[in-house]
Structures are given as structure tokens and as C-alpha cells.
Structure 1
Amino acid sequence: MRRTFSAVMLFFLVFCSAQAQQKTFFITGRAQGTTYQIQYLADREVVRKSSIDSVMGVIDQSMSLYQPHSLISMFNRQYHHELEIDTHMANVLREAFQVYEKSNGLFDVTVKPLVDLWGFGSEGVQLFPPQATVDSVLSFVGMEKIWLEGNQLHKRDPRTAIDLNGIAQGYTVDVLSQWLDERIIDSYLVEVGGEIRTKGLKAEGKSYEIAIERPEGAQSSSFVLQLTDLAVTTSGNYRKVAYHEGKKVHHHIDPKSGFPLQNIVVSATIIAPTAMEADAYDNVFMALSPQAGIALANRLAGIEVYIIYEGHGAFHEAYSDGFLSFVKP
């Protein structure tokens, strides 16, 4: 027993010594309409910014709505009923179908026509739509109207269009993380547009620390997360805001009613094994009541959530059973 303990201590000291000799490298840039940053530990520089930009460019050509010749833009054109897609888009769609099922349809990538209708897409509108128009668009919204056969994506109605922005950025973080793994980098933090994934420990042997983005005026606790080999994302409804009939409307659209959600949840922070999972589920928790959101998180393996919500003129907080274990003391 004593010999085993000595061996473990020797390994720990050698490991820490090796980490102490490594340097921290930083890469920053702009892509996918936002910023990104990568920091990693290594003996020497092994990652070039041009390589990172190239990886992200490939994903843009797959799932960017702002690239007219991307695969998703081609599929969304009304003369397409089916399209051969790449592995990136297929991976994202398979995860999207799973989250759609687990969320009882709250996460639905076919909401793009509704997002455009309400003016939250790339082209804004000045007038909000009447009920009849919303109902008309709802007739070709729903993930039961699309399906995958291998890498062949099909749709039943040519007017159906998809928007993967609620999950693709998290997937980008995962792809970059895997790219670093393949270069035998054992410690890193990858962040794209606020979506984050970590691996290993920092140079001083501590976990990566992430402060939770919180809406202005929130009076809840100031949490700093300590994460190792996990991802975290935050979604909030306090940025993209418009007004409809005297009420605030937000960019999260209810795929069942066709109207923007009017929920008391202000923000949701998700901890998950992958950034793609966290990115997808933050949309789900924004759509649920705080009580329903916490109940769902407690049922989902590997998912933790921290929710800020409004009530009686003040901000309140709620969190899943395992969330506090990741909060810095």
C-alpha cells in the first residue's frame, strides 16, 4: 500500500514538473460572425492561426446561413427536396434530432421561416405578422418534415428551411477541441462566441475558471465555474429584444405556437460533456419554466443548469442538483 502511494506521488510530481515547463499559447481571431480564442499548454507552438481559420472556414461552408453557397443555404432553397450533406452537418443534425426528442419538440431547427417572419433573421422586418400568417408558416415547420438517410437530407415541403445557429457554434468548439486532441495537446480552453470547452489543467495545476455571463441588474450570486474536460454555454434573452403589442418579444421562437417566447427565464447556463450538447440545451432551458428546466436537467445524464429568472420585480436563481459542485468556493 505504501509503495503504491509513493508511486502515485512520484507520478504526480513528474506530471506537475512537466506542466510547469510548458508555456501557455494564445490564438484569437474573428470567424462565424463572432470572435474566438484558444489557449493551450505545450512545450512549443504547435497550432497556427491559419489552421484554425481553415477549420472554421470548412464548417462555414457547411452550415453558415450567411454563405450563399453553403450546404445549408442550398438545402433551404425552395427547389431542393433533398441534398447530399457533409459529415459536419450530418453530425449536427443527428444531435439536433436527439435533443428534439428529449425536449418534447422545444428544440426544432426548422424554425428558420418563423425567425425570419418575426424579423430576427438576417433581414429584419418593421411590422409583426398577424395570426393567419403565423399559422400559414407553421404548416411547413417541424422536424418531422425533414429526415436523414445516411448523409442525404430530405424535406417533405420545399418551403421548409433549417437554422443550425442554435447548435452549430457549439459543434465548432468541439471540432476545434478534437483538432487539438489530435495534436496531443492535453490542456486547453476553446471559446467561440461564448461557447466554451476545456481539457486538463492550467500551467499552475488548477482548473480553468469561467465567470458566468449575467444580465445587467441581476442580484444573484456571482458564480465562477471551475471546469475540467467539460463544456459550458450561456443563452440569454436580454440582448435581441423587440416589442409586440406592448410586450417584449425575444429571438427564441416557440416552434409550436409560432410566436416568440414570453418566459420569465432571463438566462440559462449549461454545463455538459460537449459544447454541442450545451449549445443545444441552452435553447431548451430558455423555453421552459425554471421548475420544468431544473426537473429536466436532473433527468438528463451529464447536464447541469443554472437559471436566472424574473419574478415580482426582482431576479432569482435556480440550479440543478449537481451544479454547485462546479462553482469555485
Structure 2
Amino acid sequence: MTVRIAIPPTLSPAAFHRRRAGAAVLACTGETMGTGWSARLAAPPEGIAAKIQAELDRVVAEMSHWAPDSALSRFNRSAPGRWQPLPAGFARVLAAALEIAEKSGGAFDPAMGALVDLWGFGPPGPRAGLPSDEALAAARAISGRAHIEQDDRRARRHGEAALDFSGIAKGHGVDRVAEMLRSMELRDFLVEIGGELRGEGVRPDGQPWWVDLEPVPGSRLAPLRAALHGLSIATSGDYRRSFAHGGRDYAHTLDPRTGRPLDNGVASVTVLHPSCMLADAWATALTVLGPAGMALAEREGLAAHMAVRAGTGFVEHLSPALQAML
């Protein structure tokens, strides 16, 4: 089967001129955010793996909803109506999340903590059955971006709204590591957290960091390979996490507009973007919106791929920005 190749719209001649031909590429790994991280770096200094882990530990300390002492958990316990100071990274992620929530008409929403917990995807753990209509209505009443107010490096919640950054934090973590590496004058690397990736520069052999889009299990769609050169890639898939009840699988992704697990036939959405944080969040938003969301992807200039279940097969949608990269 022919492999389709996606090339970023902007290539950096400087990256090829400064590459360290013949340099060793170090691969290192670790754990963060309930998943694994990995990095491949051209000629890094000693101790780079520990520095990456420390940076990711700082991200967890800011925005993990699993860690009770994180800045996010403390915010979720704060007195309603009282302004809370935010760490810089937290403020950046919240601002981006609220902006995408607005642009997507609520298909992405960071203030979904109560609903995430209700459906068994949060710190309280899995649930045995489905929530009642009354419990769902109560969780919806305190959820949503309208209950969160941000003013630069401070924010407050109205009522009992709870933030959940699980649809954007991994991408932000990738960006944070990339920014740290660039501040150390490292320009050629590939960083990954839980399947979300960002590639910068080129490999010592002059090739970009090639990454294959995660295939949808059971699909026969032509493979797509992307050159991550100043580019990130994030995928949201309904096959990644779910729970079964009454002979039916319920997707991990919730539709903020209904408060219920997604059931629109979308198997996966992949977004390519210079920012992994934005690719991560937009992949979730487009998954919720379904095929109608491709019009939004076009308006926003997003390079997006969507696979939708159709009978026993799949139909794919490619945004104009992605088609232009092929």
C-alpha cells in the first residue's frame, strides 16, 4: 500500500547547515502523566534525561488533576469567586483551552472535571455502571467554561466548577520539554509523551524526524507519514480508552455539550501544528465535532486528518492544509 508523505510548509535551510553529521542520537525514556515519555536527541549533554524528567515533574506539579497537591487540584478546591494566582504554564494552558473552547462552540472545554469524574475517567476511579440522569444533570450544571474566569496570571471559578487539562496537558508537556531543550541550544530532537510528538531540526543524517500516523485498528486506509520538522502531531482516538456496560463500549472522550461519552462514529483525529499543546486540544475538539468540524479546521488553517466509521469500513477526511502538505 502506498505511503502518503506529509512535508511541513516551511523548511529551515539553517537546520541542514548546522546539523552534526555523524553525531550520535541518544534515546531516553521515562514516565509522566500516567503514561510514558521518550526523546531522541542529536549530541545532547550528559544528564539530559534527568533534566527532561525534572521539567515534566514541574508540569505535573502544576496541572495534574490526579495529584492532590498540584496547582490545578488546589484551584479546584479554592473558594468560589476568589481570584487565585496561577503558575505561568498553568495560565498559558488555561488561556489556550478557553480560546479553543470558544472557537469550537464548546466541543473542547477545560472545565469538565465533575463530568470526567462522574463517568469514571478521573481520580475517583472507574465506575460499575452508568450515572443516573439526575447525577448527570447535577454535574453538567457546575461544568463548562462559563464557570471559569481568567485575568492573565490569575483565575477564579464560579460555583463548584473543576478544571481538567487531560485533553491538553500532554501536548503542553511536550512543548515545555522542547522549549527547555532549545534554551540549552539543542536544536535537533524528537520528543513524545503518550503518543503526542514534536520534532525540531533534523537528524544527523540530514533526514527529518519521520513519524507515521497512528493507524486505526481494523482500517485499511493508506498510511500517512509526516516529517516532524518544526512540527507536532497529536491524535485522539475512540479505541484508546473506554469502558463497557450492557454490551456497549463507551468512549473516554466526553462531549462537553451533552456531558455524555462521544457516539458520532469518529474513530480518530490527527492534527499537525507547530504547537503540540494546540495540536492536542484541537484533535479533541474535532473528534467531538465530527465531520462537520472539518469546516472549522479549514477556517483555522489546521492540518487535520479524520477517520470516521462507516458500516464495516472507514471514510477519511483531510483538511486543505493537510492536503497541501502531501
Aligned to 1:73: 73
**Contact residue 84 and residue 151 of structure 1 kept, 8 A:** yes
CA positional deviation for 1:25: 2.0
Output the CA distance in 1 between the equivalents of 2:263 and 2:65: 26
For residues 17 and 267 of structure 1, do their structure 2 counterparts lie closer, same or farther at Cα, with a shift above 3 Å needed? closer
Indicate the SS of the match to 1:127.
coil
Q: Any idea what the Cα deviations from partners look like across 1:86-111, whole Å, max 9, x if unmatched?
A: 11100100101110111011111111
Matches within 5 A, 1:148-227: 148-157=150-159, 159-227=160-228
**Contact residue 219 and residue 316 of structure 1 kept, 8 A:** no
**Contact residue 249 and residue 260 of structure 1 kept, 8 A:** yes
Indicate the SS of the match to 2:54.
helix
Tell me which amino acid in the other structure corresponds to 2:232.
A
Indicate the SS of the match to 2:27.
strand
Aligned to 2:129: 127
For residues 227 and 15 of structure 1, do their structure 2 counterparts lie closer, same or farther at Cα, with a shift above 3 Å needed? closer
Output the CA distance in 1 between the equivalents of 2:30 and 2:173: 14
Output the CA distance in 2 between the equivalents of 1:225 and 1:73: 36
Tell me which amino acid in the other structure corresponds to 1:240.
R
For residues 127 and 149 of structure 1, do their structure 2 counterparts lie closer, same or farther at Cα, with a shift above 3 Å needed? same
Indicate the SS of the match to 1:201.
coil
Aligned to 1:53: 53
CA positional deviation for 1:17: 8.0
Q: Which of 1 and 2 has greater Rg?
A: 1
- The two structures have a TM-score, normalised by structure 2, of 0.90
CA positional deviation for 1:325: 4.6
Aligned to 1:8: none
Tell me which amino acid in the other structure corresponds to 2:309.
E
4+ residue runs over 6 A deviation:
none
Aligned to 2:6: none
CA positional deviation for 1:15: 5.3
Aligned to 1:316: 315
Aligned to 2:39: 38
CA positional deviation for 1:67: 1.2
Output the CA distance in 1 between the equivalents of 2:19 and 2:254: 49
Aligned to 1:136: 138
**Contact residue 194 and residue 234 of structure 1 kept, 8 A:** yes
List runs of 5+ in structure 1 lacking aligned partners.
1-11
**Contact residue 225 and residue 326 of structure 1 kept, 8 A:** no
Matches within 5 A, 1:13-24: 19-24=20-25
**Contact residue 86 and residue 153 of structure 2 kept, 8 A:** yes
CA positional deviation for 1:257: 1.4
CA positional deviation for 1:26: 2.0
Aligned to 2:104: 103
Q: Any idea what the Cα deviations from partners look like across 1:204-259, whole Å, max 9, x if unmatched?
A: 11121101112221111111112210110111011322245654321111112111
Output the CA distance in 2 between the equivalents of 1:27 and 1:276: 22
CA positional deviation for 1:198: 0.9
Aligned to 1:261: 262
- The two structures have a TM-score, normalised by structure 1, of 0.89
Query: Could you tell which deviates more after superposition, 166-175 or 81-90?
Result: 81-90
List runs of 5+ in structure 2 lacking aligned partners.
1-12
Output the CA distance in 2 between the equivalents of 1:166 and 1:270: 13
Output the CA distance in 2 between the equivalents of 1:52 and 1:14: 22
Output the CA distance in 2 between the equivalents of 1:262 and 1:14: 44
Indicate the SS of the match to 1:232.
strand
Q: Any idea what the Cα deviations from partners look like across 1:165-217, whole Å, max 9, x if unmatched?
A: 11011011111111111111121111111111111111111121101112221
CA positional deviation for 1:79: 4.5
Query: Could you tell which deviates more after superposition, 47-56 or 231-240?
Result: 47-56
Indicate the SS of the match to 1:203.
coil
Output the CA distance in 1 between the equivalents of 2:112 and 2:67: 19
The number of equivalent residue pairs is 312
C-alpha root-mean-square deviation of aligned residues, in Å? 2.1
Tell me which amino acid in the other structure corresponds to 2:149.
W
